[in-house]
């Protein structure tokens, strides 16, 4: 019995093709959840501090950003003046990076998902499509931990956590759909073309510097700003800052448009993955 089969048996998760659709959906959801937990635990297993590292790392990074951008470079966001707290830039920057990392971690892992889990592809009747949500769940966990570290700093630097912060899930949800669609596309393409895995890291870095993470979009010429919106993380990053830091309502029109595109990408990615998965075993 494979390790996956043992896991399925432990939690009573059927892996049969003959299961009813509703039963399959429930089983897949439970299996996804268990695989996310196992992946998070395995990441920190063997270290002395364990899961505490998931909190230490973002805390250290936030401290470094505050020192480098606030004290060394004396960076200010937009039209902020010299009297603005130095840590404000770091808080704004860190918010953007949290959102960006959800998408970036998913797409950088996606091309190697089938290759890294080839035993699932070859030996087990396994719902391969859940490997992408597992990667997203792992990224979302670390984003959530970073957010817990960030919130007290927002309170200290900005003076309060705005009530609009409760709208953050509405900003992040479309990004998760976009991440899933892109992940399914890349997981399939990466199985057939290994070069995808080599290229995607550079692509993710390009997305980082071509998104309004280190600078506000208003700092760019007016004719460039619409092109910036083509970056899949631009709208989520900007809207996350609006609701989480500046206490403003999100731009619902922009979110509606982004959500529509995200749904199309997600559905297309899933259909493409399902159509091409039959050849995975032969390639691997």
Q: What is the pLDDT of residue 184?
A: 97
Distance CA 235, CA 257 (A): 10
Contact 91, 245 (CB under 8 A): yes
For residues 193 and 120, what is the distance between their CA atoms, to the nearest angstrom? 19
Kindly give the residue spans of alpha helices, DSSP state H, lying in 126-251: 131-158, 168-192, 195-209, 225-228, 234-244
pLDDT on residue 48: 63
- pLDDT value at position 195? 86
* Angstrom distance (rounded) from CA 218 to CA 79: 10
- For residue 18, the model assigns a pLDDT of 43
pLDDT in tens, 38-58: 988 887 776 666 677 777 888
Question: Residue 162 is inside which H or E element, if any?
Answer: none
- Among 200, 1, 4, smallest CA distance to 103 is for 200
pLDDT tens profile 92-102: 989 999 999 99
All residue ranges of the chain with pLDDT < 50 are: 1-4, 11-19
pLDDT of the residue at 56: 81
* pLDDT confidence of residue 250: 94
Report pLDDT for 16: 42
- Tell me which residue of 258, 174, 212, 210 sits closest to 96, measured CA to CA: 212
- For 15, phi then psi, to 5°, come to -115, 35
pLDDT digits (tens, 9 = 90+) for 104-145: 999 999 999 999 888 888 766 788 999 999 999 999 999 999
Helix, coil or strand: residue 212: coil
């Amino acid at each position: 019995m494979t390790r996956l089969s043992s896991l399925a048996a432990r939690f009573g998760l059927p892996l049969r093709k003959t299961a009813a659709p509703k039963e399959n959906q429930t089983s897949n959801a439970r299996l996804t959840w268990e695989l996310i937990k196992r992946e998070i635990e395995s990441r920190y297993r063997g270290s002395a501090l364990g899961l505490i590292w998931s909190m230490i790392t973002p805390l250290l990074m936030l401290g470094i950003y505050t020192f480098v951008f606030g004290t060394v470079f004396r960076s200010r966001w937009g039209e902020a003046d010299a009297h603005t707290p130095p840590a404000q830039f770091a808080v704004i920057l860190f918010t953007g990076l949290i959102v960006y990392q959800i998408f970036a971690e998913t797409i950088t892992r996606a091309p190697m998902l089938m290759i890294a889990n080839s035993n699932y592809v070859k030996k087990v009747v396994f719902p391969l499509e859940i490997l992408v949500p597992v990667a997203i769940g792992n990224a979302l966990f670390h984003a959530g931990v970073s957010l817990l570290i960030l919130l007290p700093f927002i309170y200290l630097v900005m003076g309060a956590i705005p009530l609009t912060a409760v709208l953050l899930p509405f900003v992040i949800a479309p990004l998760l759909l976009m991440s899933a669609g892109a992940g399914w596309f890349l997981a399939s393409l990466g199985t057939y073309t290994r070069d995808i895995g080599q290229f995607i890291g550079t692509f993710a870095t390009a997305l980082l510097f071509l998104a309004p993470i280190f600078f506000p979009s208003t700092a760019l010429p007016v004719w460039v700003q619409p092109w910036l919106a083509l970056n899949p993380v631009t709208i989520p990053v900007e809207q996350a800052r609006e609701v989480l830091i500046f206490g403003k309502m999100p731009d619902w029109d922009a979110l509606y448009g982004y959500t529509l595109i995200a749904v199309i990408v997600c559905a297309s990615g899933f259909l493409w993955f399902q159509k091409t998965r039959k050849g995975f075993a032969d390639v691997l």
